[in-house]
Amino acid sequence: MTIANVEMAKAWEEEGVGWTQDADRYDAAGARHWKRFLDAGLITATDRVLDVGCGTGQSSRDAARLASSGSVHGVDLSTQMVDDARRRSADEGLTNVTFEFADAQVHPFDEGAYDVAISRYGAMFFADAPAAFANIGRALKPGGRLGLLVWQELAENKWLQAYRGALAAGRDLPAPPNGAPGPFALADPDGVRTLLTDAGFTDVAFESVEEPMYFGVDADDAWAFVSGQGVVRGLTQDLDEATKAEALAALQQVLADHATDDGVLLDAASWIITARVSR
């Protein structure tokens, strides 16, 4: 097993514990965005699907139901999340989906083995994105399809702005850069178009998804979820206890301010990126 994306593998092995425990809540948080992806018609009944960064496997399971006469293979850098994905798929009785602990950046996929490669917020964390997408492209058959769900830039994602604003505690927090490994690695259409074209893809297209993120049925429920997230821990780890308590209270108030009859909702924006292998 070769792991080239060492830092992200370590990070997600640690973060995977919390994501596995709260898998249903994370899936529910972005459900509106994921439904738009599934409704885009990128997966057909006979497709052989590669799911990059499958996490605990909801994306693979949903793809397997669409590819009912095909198959899905999910890969991820977290062994704990892969194990949970296997368990959940077995519990649901799905027989056309498999999972593997693997680094899609370098994994020796069989050339031309898949009709379509997908990723739900997983393709933004490659240390070497050109190598990763070239490798994924080789795994696709000639004319094979790529479908990615990724975040748009920070300015378009009010939910993360709200986190950062509440937890800044007087600090000037640097914005995560577009193009670097992380949540906004694929946020810039011009940069992504160049990246994918250089990796052997063509017909690169972007569809904007602007739907709210769901954090819980009410403010207390949302806080039970949000307070344990890695992003919250990361943004408060350098604060003294008194300042940290004030910052967390400010974030808790943000959630209360966004409570609606449909739950706690904050605006978010994603791209559905599609492309084809040019060979």
Q: Which residues pair with 206 in a beta bridge?
A: 273
Please give the average per-residue pLDDT across 101-109, as a whole number. Answer: 94
Give tens-digit pLDDT for 181-215: 889 999 999 999 999 999 999 999 999 999 999 99
pTM, rounded to two decimals: 0.94
Listed by start position, the domains of the chain span: 6-153+177-212+268-277
> Which residues lie closer than 8 Å to 212 by C-beta, 6 or more apart?
32, 265, 266, 267, 268
pLDDT at 99 over 90: yes
Give tens-digit pLDDT for 117-172: 999 999 999 999 999 999 999 999 999 999 999 999 999 999 999 999 999 999 99
Q: Which of 207, 242, 216 is nearest to 159 (CA)?
A: 216
> Which residues lie closer than 8 Å to 238 by C-beta, 6 or more apart?
none
Q: How far apart are CA 195 and CA 192, in angstroms?
A: 5
Please give the average per-residue pLDDT across 38-56, as a whole number. Answer: 97
| Candidate from 80-89, 173-182, 223-232, 237-246 with smallest mean pLDDT | 173-182
Q: Which residue has the tokens 């821990």?
A: 233
| Candidate from 55-59, 67-71, 229-233, 259-263 with smallest mean pLDDT | 229-233
pLDDT band at 176 (very low <50, low <70, confident <90, very high): confident
pLDDT band at 16 (very low <50, low <70, confident <90, very high): low
Please give the average per-residue pLDDT across 51-63, as a whole number. Answer: 97
pLDDT band at 178 (very low <50, low <70, confident <90, very high): confident
- 8 A C-beta contact, residue 78 and residue 17: no
pLDDT at 2 over 80: no
> Which residues lie closer than 8 Å to 274 by C-beta, 6 or more apart?
40, 42, 145, 146, 147, 148, 203, 204, 205, 207
The residue among 6 and 23 whose pLDDT is bigger is 23
Q: What is the pLDDT of residue 12?
A: 61
Q: Which residue has the tokens 């095909």?
A: 70
Which of helix, strand or coil describes residue 191? helix
| Candidate from 15-19, 64-68, 97-101, 218-222 with smallest mean pLDDT | 15-19
**Class of 6-153+177-212+268-277 per CATH?**
alpha beta
Q: How far apart are CA 172 and CA 154, in angstroms?
A: 15
Helix (H) or strand (E) holding 9: helix 6-21
User: In the chain, what percentage of residues exceed pLDDT 70?
Assistant: 94
* Cα angle for residues 74, 76, 80 (degrees, 5° grid): 110
- DSSP-assigned letter for residue 67: S
Q: What is the pLDDT of residue 258?
A: 98
Which of helix, strand or coil describes residue 171? coil
- 8 A C-beta contact, residue 236 and residue 247: yes
Q: How far apart are CA 236 and CA 218, in angstroms?
A: 23
* Cα angle for residues 105, 181, 209 (degrees, 5° grid): 100
pLDDT at 226 over 60: yes
pLDDT at 274 over 90: yes
